[in-house]
Structure 1
Amino acid sequence: MRAPLGTDETPELQAVLDALDDEGCRRIIEALDEPMAAKELSEECDIPLSTTYRKLELLTDAALLEERAVLQPDGHHTTEYDLVFEEVVIQLDEDRTLDVGVTRPSQSTDERLETLWAEVSKET
């Protein structure tokens, strides 16, 4: 399970540009009004499941999506994906190089705890 970058870190410019340049990735972003599983996104966006997984990886690598495990009542788990940005800004910095800024939604205490637990679990 991969979590997005922390709020004090910014994603790589090229990773964000690659993800946003991809039509399938943009369709996934538009479809994610609530957390969804890859299969649901595949059906909603009319993208083959194997391609959906590649698009989800692009978006996660660009720190625009978060993947999280959700425990099901039967004891199994499902991976769901959710947006972790409100705005992406590409700008020219004072050195005349392109820079990316990502505005993240504020997290509730429960969400911060979940993110922290995901990081601890990833390290162990």
Structure 2
Amino acid sequence: MTMQPKGRLRDSLSPILRLEGALLGAVCIWLFAGTGFSWWLFGVLLLSPDVTMLGYAAGPRFGAIVYNAGHSWIGPVLLAAVGHVAGSPLVLALAFIWGAHVGIDRALGYGLKYATGFGHTHLGLIGPAAKA
């Protein structure tokens, strides 16, 4: 069973986490702009991490694991490190796009998922779960 903070504690952290996401997303967009790659690449790939939602076809627990793997900061940071060490501007650009997606999602209130269902996030309830 996954425990999550209730009521005021979670609600008091959500605006901070959303602002943090917005700022990190903005930094990733700014860093992408410095790579010189086309904004078409950015636009085409920006929503690609949402493919991880398909994991929910195998159930909420597996779906949460797959979704969270594609929506945590771990992936973009590691990819940026690889791009930096390898001296690959393309890999860096991909990391910044991925990071922008994560930041924008956080800013909009789409947090990491609990195994209890897609609508149960570390930022609060979303979608139909919020209306229940």
TM-score scaled by length of structure 2: 0.27
More strand by share: 1
Report which structure shows greater RCO (CA 8 Å, sep ≥6): 2
Structure 1 length normalisation: TM-score?
A: 0.28
Structure holding more helix per residue? 2
